Amino acid sequence: MTKDIARNVAEASLGVQDANKRVTETSLATAEIAKEIAGVDHAAGQMAEGSEQVNASATELSKVAEQLQTTVQRFTV
């Protein structure tokens, strides 16, 4: 009977060790996923900033084109 108890305790201990290993692996994987998500978020932020700059440049270019058109129309005979 004592051997059975010792064997059951040993098996339970192995089960706990296995569960701890899986929890650690899951934790590491979750941390890596969180790191990747943060990287994607950062890249998306940079793209948004770039898009805003392109939009501002396009707006400015449109204004310059209008001014140029007005200037050119003055010289039309």
Domain ranges (residues) in the chain = 1-77
Give 46's pLDDT tier (boundaries 50, 70, 90): very high
| pTM (whole model) above 0.75 | no
Please, what sign has the CA dihedral across residues 18, 19, 23, 26?
positive
Residue 54 CA to its chain's centroid (Å):
22
Give residue 75's pLDDT. 84
d(CA 77, CA 70): 14
The whole-number average pLDDT for the span 31-42 is 98
